[in-house]
Chain A
């Protein structure tokens, strides 16, 4: 890594020392940790609230769909959307601070707004993780505890919660890592008073053209990120209590929640969901008025702008997504199959390397790609291929993991049955294995597409005049204070992603009879 290279090109630690001595950068490091911890705690709490409501409150189908809808929005949104909405709400002419509360000169920048925006953006990750964990806890265990004389509260505290502890820890770590790596939200909201590492690294490189400083700052980010990775791999993964038995156990309804407790639980969820929806409604509204907060006459001017001057970004993004999505989906299935079914030298290494691209903060990956491909013979910087490569390698792990999960659940006897009926191993793969991992392929496609449309942290270092992205244009609009256009871009991205997801879901439904495929892997920044 460039971080250790001195002026003369020899290895040195001087750069790292320089960083450690600079109080401003040290402040950024601590700020990043503080923000990550708070987002982790807040997001996990919200996630637990939602997950508990979804799995334990005995909700009907419609309610659960509503919960899912409220949580899926932040997952598929481009960066900045909550940030934009925060400015609209709490800025100097903000809807809440100015119009409702009558403050003028209120500031939307700093820790509180950054924290709120990131928590609302990332809590769905915790929700998805914890919902799976809570749903996996056999309700018979809770029945058992009740029959032994525990009160409902005791059941929650002594049975449900301890069983969910690994899940809670995992959710916290995921959120901590996501916040640590998040670059878009603090860039807009944190401001000068609250610098964090990813934004500092970005400013070093794009503002001061100081590649080395950027690399060093990213490297500082690597330390806590690596710590989180180790904790997840060696602490959390060992503490998974498998209470699923595979047997279709006696059907029991969940009784661990007192009827009266449903209402505060639901009210809490509804409040959060309302906040999320409010942000998006605000975004849609802002994209349709001349200047939010000042001149609120209806206009389509922002959409005209993005389709004319922003047309290239839209076209480029779609081209890159169109090439990267099938490539990444395919790559995920092939690598997943190799990892799950074949024994070969270097399998472990392959597993770690594929996950590494995913676990590293985006800014590090972006800078690494930039440095690695900046010089001949691999001078790819500025082209589309480097962006596509970055997407494929960075966002394929969802597809890989989904493939591995399906193959691990797939009884090897199914493939043997095909063999016994006279099919060779090639025919068996084509006629049996491949159709069964299709759900994983589609899950991989979905994530690839969503990320191709919404990612920024890694690719902002890779765009050029020739190839640019919608997300980068949103950032430019934000810095030029063209908030209306930024909002319009965001609405467009959300709409595009929704259409793509609907198509993939449709394709999946036609395959529904195949092995159950999980679509819940839409994680990570």
Chain B
């Protein structure tokens, strides 16, 4: 039965041997409804793993409270919280077989032998390791070890599943494959899950919601689409997807959109907040929304500086009105490509231009 997770203003102070005292997590409040898959996404040192470990009970919060299914578990040890945790290093017991690794949690719970065998066999079947029960962890490949760790975490039917960068030790192809397996398993068992990663693709592929963290705080919380299309800050925009962030000035408003001056051109842009007229703002332009056409005249045209052919798209760097922009042009085989030095006209649709909530970088 799935339960929700609630974090109330939790913070974690730490003492680092060389960097002194500091807050790993400053102030995190978060509600994960039962059955949801939430990802904590951020660069290293943003506090995402510490937050996860506080949910698990491996760390005690310095302040704030942790609730699992409405019950305050803040002071409860990890072994009393009924969680399934998947470690980055897998942390398989090297002295136990695959079967005994998976059975460990059930043995601790004094499950009857017949019941235990059935449960372990079933979950090994589920992760596709039915034939490996008698092997030892070091005899398995990285992907197989990952599956054992997953099986070991879910076999006890925990209230919540917690993942600490579980795929970062796998190669790129396997990572893509395993993340869909993890998601399928979580949906099938309908267990509430919190997943930590620094990989934005992984976060977008696997999650119901994403919480982007920076400096020990959640800076934006929403679905993948929300965050990609409407990032709150330059940091979020840069972290999710590829980005051009340029300087602009607010000229006024027209309908629901802001009118901004970017690169000497008046553009319509979306925004959450409404800065005053004349304000200097950071403007986000997503590379794939920029449209390039052969230049009709030299007036206001841009120059292709470089071109990288990637198959499904071509990446250009263009120089335009003193700014350099990254542009991604899809389906190059049917639509043709430009060569470095070509002059192009630039079109910027409103959906791809957005005023960000923070000050522009100097």
Contacts and interface: CB of A to CB of B under 8 A. Distances in A.
A249 to B, nearest CB: 15
Interface stretch (B86-94, B184-192, B272-280, B285-293): B86-94
Given A416-B58, A416-B78, A513-B95, A421 B89 contact: no
Q: For the side of the interface on A, what is the size category?
A: 20 to 34
A513 B137 CA distance: 9
Contacts of A418: 93, 104
Given A419-B78, A420-B84, A513-B138, A413 B109 contact: no
Nearest to A514: B95
Contacts of B93: 414, 417-418, 432
Nearest to B97: A513
A6 to B, nearest CB: 48
A413 B87 contact: yes
Given A411-B89, A413-B87, A420 B58 contact: yes
Given A419-B78, A421-B104, A422-B109, A436 B94 contact: yes
A469 to B, nearest CB: 37
A227 interface: no
A419 B58 contact: yes
B297 interface: no
Interface in B70-117: 77-80, 82-85, 87-89, 91-95, 104-105, 108-109
B156 interface: yes
Contacts of B104: 418, 421, 423, 431
Contacts of B7: none
Contacts of A431: 104
B136 A513 contact: yes
A431 B78 CA distance: 17
A416 B152 CA distance: 13
B56 interface: yes
A368 interface: no
B138 A421 contact: no
Nearest to A432: B93
Nearest to B156: A421
B102 to A, nearest CB: 10
B142 to A, nearest CB: 11
A419 B77 contact: yes
Contacts of A436: 94-95
B94 A515 contact: yes
Contact of A514 (B92, B94, B108): B94
Contacts of A413: 87-89, 91
A417 B88 CA distance: 11
A420 B94 contact: no
Given A422-B82, A431-B104, A436-B94, 20 more contacts: A411-B89, A411-B91, A413-B87, A413-B91, A414-B92, A416-B91, A417-B93, A419-B77, A420-B56, A420-B57, A420-B58, A420-B79, A421-B79, A421-B152, A422-B156, A424-B79, A513-B95, A514-B95, A515-B94, A515-B95
Query: Which 8 A-B residue pairs are closest in the complex by CB-CB distance?
Result: A421-B105, A413-B91, A417-B91, A420-B85, A514-B95, A413-B87, A422-B108, A435-B95
Interface of A: 411, 413-414, 416-424, 427, 431-432, 435-436, 511, 513-515
30 contacts: A411-B87, A411-B89, A411-B91, A413-B87, A413-B88, A413-B89, A413-B91, A414-B92, A416-B78, A416-B85, A417-B85, A419-B58, A419-B78, A420-B78, A420-B153, A421-B105, A421-B152, A422-B82, A422-B109, A422-B156, A427-B108, A432-B95, A435-B95, A436-B94, A436-B95, A513-B94, A513-B136, A513-B138, A514-B94, A514-B95
